[in-house]
C-alpha cells in the first residue's frame, strides 16, 4: 500500500503526507529520483577502467562525479572514454569487458540527486 501511495504522491507532485491523532504525528515524505543513462559514444568493444589507466573500476552503488570516466570503447589503438553525464550513483549496468557495442547503447544507469 505504501508503494501505491508513494507512486501517487510523485505523480501529482506532492512531497509530504502528515497524519495526526491524539497529539501524535506520523509523516511520510516522497522524494523524486531522476535517472540518467550513460550511453555509448561510438561503436566498438567495451573496455573496463582499472586495467592499466590508474582509475578504479566503477562498481554498482558507487558515487561518481560528472565527467568521471566509467570505461572506454576500443577502436583500434584509440580509446574513446565513456563518461558520466552528471554526478550520481551507479544503479545499473556495466557491460563485461569485450562486449561489442553500438553508438547509443545504454551502458550504465545513474540515480541523480534532486
Instruction: Look at the chain and report how many structural domains it folds into.
Output: 2
Q: 25: domain range?
A: 1-32
pTM of the model: 0.69
Do 84 and 50 share a structural domain? yes
Do 40 and 24 share a structural domain? no
Dihedral sign, Cα of residue 33, residue 47, residue 67, residue 54: positive
- CATH number of the CATH domain containing 63: 2.40.50.100
pLDDT tens over the chain, length 114 residues: 666 766 666 655 566 667 676 777 667 666 656 889 999 999 999 999 887 888 988 899 999 999 999 999 997 789 999 999 999 999 987 899 999 999 999 999 999 887
Do 53 and 65 share a structural domain? yes
Do 50 and 17 share a structural domain? no
Specify the DSSP class assigned to residue 76.
Answer: T
**Residue 72: which residues within 8 A CB-CB, separation 6 or more?**
46, 47, 49, 53, 79, 80, 81, 82
46 grid coordinates: 567495451
Residue bearing cell 553508438: 103
Do 50 and 24 share a structural domain? no
- What is residue 29's predicted lDDT score, i.e. its pLDDT? 65
Rounded to whole angstroms, the Cα distance separating 31 from 39 reads 26
Do 90 and 56 share a structural domain? yes
Do 27 and 38 share a structural domain? no
Amino acid at each position: 500500500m505504501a508503494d501505491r501511495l508513494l507512486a501517487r504522491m510523485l505523480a501529482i507532485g506532492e512531497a509530504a503526507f502528515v497524519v495526526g491523532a491524539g497529539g501524535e504525528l506520523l509523516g511520510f515524505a516522497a522524494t523524486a529520483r531522476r535517472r540518467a543513462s550513460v550511453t555509448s559514444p561510438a561503436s566498438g568493444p567495451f573496455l573496463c577502467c582499472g586495467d592499466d589507466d590508474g582509475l578504479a573500476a566503477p562498481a554498482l552503488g558507487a558515487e561518481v562525479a560528472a565527467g568521471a570516466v566509467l570505461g572506454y570503447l576500443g577502436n583500434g589503438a584509440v580509446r574513446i572514454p565513456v563518461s558520466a553525464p552528471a554526478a550520481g550513483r551507479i544503479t545499473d549496468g556495466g557491460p563485461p569487458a569485450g562486449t561489442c557495442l553500438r553508438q547509443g547503447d545504454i551502458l550504465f544507469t545513474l540515480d541523480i540527486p534532486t
